[in-house]
Amino acid sequence: MNVVAFSPLAAETSAGRICPRDYAYAPSVFARVDDFTADTLYVIGGLYGNLAALEAIEKLAAAERASPVIVFNGDFHWFDAEPGWFAAIERGVTPHRALRGNVETEISRSEDNGAGCGCAYPDNVDDDVVHRSNEILTRLRAETSGGERARLRGLPIHLVAHVGALRVGIVHGDAVALAGWRFAHDALDEARHRHWLDDIARAAQVDVFASTHTCLAALRDFALSGGRLTIVNNGAAGMPNFASSHFGVITRIATSPSPHQPLYGLARDGVHIEAIAIDYDQDGFLARFLTCWPQGSPAHASYYQRIIDGPAYAIAQAAQR
């Protein structure tokens, strides 16, 4: 993570690639009194304004034996760059717990600080993708009201939940930054990060981290020198996560197995950690997307192909090996 101050000269090339200072936190912030307790927890990241996915999630929650605690862990806004659409997402999210993702954080700022979309994209992401994301964020900010921005500004950037015997750190990015990428599937599989994982597990004193941000799902379970650490990244609730698919993914963490068939998961210490498919109305979502983001728009160029075909990524890559 690059934590820097901004200057006008650097803004044009740095926007979308760096973390503002206020994105950073120490992993020790999670070694605190739990913010809430739940028997069943839904962690929903990357809804991206998909109202059809939100409706599908509400139906899954209603089918549970007891109402789950629902947490939106950021980027619930993105494609909804139209006042009525944005307001509808706000109405769906507001009754539940929510974190600010980089999208909500950059929407909420009173002035542009040069962060662009706040995605902190790594070097392997093409400059054109970064530029288009900055354009999407600019349009989204222009469509929001002062009251909406103020509400988003008041949201936290991390939470701690207790589910059964486990403490769960809920983040948007990773254990040290709102837009951190070290909970991405490829980063988690790099042996050189094991020492970092050991360090953050000791400092955070949590058993599980639940994240999103990187837009591709992953579940990894580590036996570290300081104990066991599970990291679950739901990828995106509002877009396809796997090749030739049309469903989003959320994370379910609960003291009982899911009534819905999980895509993959594991159980530890009496708690089930599962990836649940969100089979939303693809045609309805696509029609709304194209009305707001027709061919030639930045969101169409970046996301249309993924929405209709899914990314070049397989469930086997996401699941715990």
Give the pLDDT confidence of 196-220 residue by residue, as tens digits. 999 999 999 999 999 999 999 999 9
pLDDT above 60 for 5: no
The DSSP secondary-structure symbol of 11 reads: H
Q: What is the mean pLDDT of residues 275-294?
A: 98
Instruction: For 127-183, give the DSSP string.
Output: HHHHHHHHHHHHHHHHTS-HHHHHHHHTS-SEEEEEETTEEEEEESS-SSBTT--TT
pTM for the whole thing? Answer: 0.95
Q: What is the mean pLDDT of residues 31-60?
A: 98
Q: What is the mean pLDDT of residues 240-265?
A: 97
Least confident of 10-19, 131-140, 151-160, 236-245: 10-19
254-263 tens-digit pLDDT: 999 999 999 9
What integer pLDDT is reported at residue 9 of this predicted model? 32
Please indicate whether residue 5 or residue 26 has the higher confidence score (pLDDT): 26
Per the CB < 8 A criterion, the answer to whether 179 and 171 are in contact is: no
The residue type at 52: A
Q: 23 to each of 40, 77, 96, 316, how far by Cα in Å?
A: 28, 18, 23, 32
The DSSP secondary-structure symbol of 22 reads: G
Quickly state the pLDDT bin for 4 (edges 50, 70, 90): very low
Q: What is the mean pLDDT of residues 289-294?
A: 98
Residue 275's H or E segment, with its range, is strand 271-278
Max Cα separation, the chain? 56
183-199 tens-digit pLDDT: 999 999 999 999 999 99
Instruction: For 180-219, give the DSSP string.
Output: --TTSHHHHT-GGGHHHHHHHHHHH--SEEEE-SSSS-EE
pLDDT above 60 for 16: yes
Tokens of residue 65, six digits: 């034996």
CATH number of 26-80+156-318: 3.60.21.10
Per the CB < 8 A criterion, the answer to whether 92 and 68 are in contact is: no
Q: How many CB atoms lie within 10 A of CB 8?
A: 7
What integer pLDDT is reported at residue 113 of this predicted model? 79
Instruction: For 32-55, give the DSSP string.
Output: S--SEEESEEEEE---TT-HHHHH
Tokens of residue 103, six digits: 């999208």
What integer pLDDT is reported at residue 13 of this predicted model? 55
Q: What is the mean pLDDT of residues 242-260?
A: 97
pLDDT above 60 for 12: no
161-181 tens-digit pLDDT: 999 999 999 999 999 999 999
